[in-house]
Each structure stands twice: as structure tokens, then as C-alpha cells.
Amino acid sequence: MGSYTHDAGPGHDGMVERNELARRLQEACYLTGHFVLRSGQVTDFYFDKYLFESDPQLLRAVAELAAPLVPAGTDMLAGLELGGVPLSTALSLVTGLAQVLVRKEAKTYGTAKLAEGRDVAGKHLLVVEDVVTTGGQVVKSVGDLRRRGAVITKVLCAIDRRPPATAASPGAGRLEEAGLELLPLFTAAELRGAVANHAT
């Protein structure tokens, strides 16, 4: 099984396409109100990722725009339960890369696997997640995969909504502490900017 290489091709106007996708994502999944995140943080805005992951046109557009972010030398994608799985599947179809589907906990029956699919030992995996807020679950899943022999240095996500690393928010640097580089398609600030730009 070969590793992935990509070619954006001539005449590809990525900026226009990216701005348009930001607007479409904002319209589809940006919500305001009172929300409690998985990390326990409280926020007045929320990106409901399932609203774009359940839309085939939007999901395809996200995967196509994210494909150039896949590092050369990637052997397989690793979609994290639950939100990372649809994005990983779409990205697998776009890039031709095989994927493994990663559970939060290894199942206790049947094959008792944590990662469903091919063996990850010795493979360079790109972890795929939908939205990253603190990176806590990503770090845990990466640790589980590394203990099974996977080589992981990068994580791709659709939306990075991590706050800047500060004394009050030390979790913001959690991925870097685990030796991971985050490759976001969009940051929360960019999508919130799309809200403001679309309103003017």
C-alpha cells in the first residue's frame, strides 16, 4: 500500500473556493446561545458539525478542500469516533487512502479492537477529527494508537476552536505537548469572521 501524494493542479483558485465554503459552513452549522462543550467549557456560540457532516454536498466540499492538507507519506487515515468518522470516510474517497475507524474505547467483544480496519502497526497515520476544542480526546486516542505501533505526528480537523494557550487555558497547548501538529481547514475565528462578513 503506497503513501499519499497530492497535486492541486493548475488554475485552482483555492482562496475563492475556501471563502465560499466558510460562508456555507457558517450558514449551515454556526449557532448562538448557551452551550456546554464536552470539555465542560461554557460558550455563547457552537459549531454543530453534524449539520455539515450529514449534508452530502457540504461534506464532499470539506473533504475536497481538506485533501491538499494531507501530508505526503501518509499511509492511512484514522477517523475518531464519532464526528471524525464521516470526515475521514469522505477524505478516504477523495484521496484513495485507506482508513481505520477509531473507537473511544476498545470494544469488549468479538475482535476487541480499538481501531477497526487494517493493522496500524508501523503505519504513518493522519488522525482526522471534526472539531478540536482542547484536544483531550485526540491526545488520548493518539496515545492508544501509538501503543499499537502507529506513527502519528499530525492531526487534521475541519474546525479548530481552541483558545490561545494561556495560564487560564493550559489545555490549548495539549496537542503540541503530545508531539502533534494540528492541520485545521478553518479556525473558529475565520468562521465567525464569515458570519460578520456575510452580514455586511
- pLDDT (tens digit per residue) in 29-75: 999 999 988 778 888 989 999 999 999 999 999 999 999 999 999 99
pLDDT (mean) for 123-143: 95
Give the model's pLDDT for residue 198: 52
Residue 13 reports pLDDT greater than 80: no
What integer best gives the mean pLDDT of the chain?
87
What is the mean pLDDT of the segment spanning 153-174?
76
- Fill in the DSSP letter of residue 104: S
- Specify the range with the lowest mean pLDDT, choosing from 111-115, 135-139, 155-159: 111-115
Return the ∠ at Cα 64 (arms to 62 and 65), rounded to 5°: 65
What percent of the chain stands above pLDDT 90?
66
User: Is residue 131 within 8 Å of residue 158, measured between CB atoms?
Assistant: yes
pLDDT at 117 over 80: yes
How far apart are alpha carbons 70 and 145 in whole angstroms?
Answer: 19
What domains sit in the chain, N to C, each tagged with a CATH number? 14-199 (3.40.50.2020)
pLDDT score for 179: 96
Q: What one-character DSSP code corresponds to residue 81?
A: T
Alpha-helical runs (H) found in the chain: 14-29, 50-53, 56-66, 84-95, 136-147, 174-177, 188-199
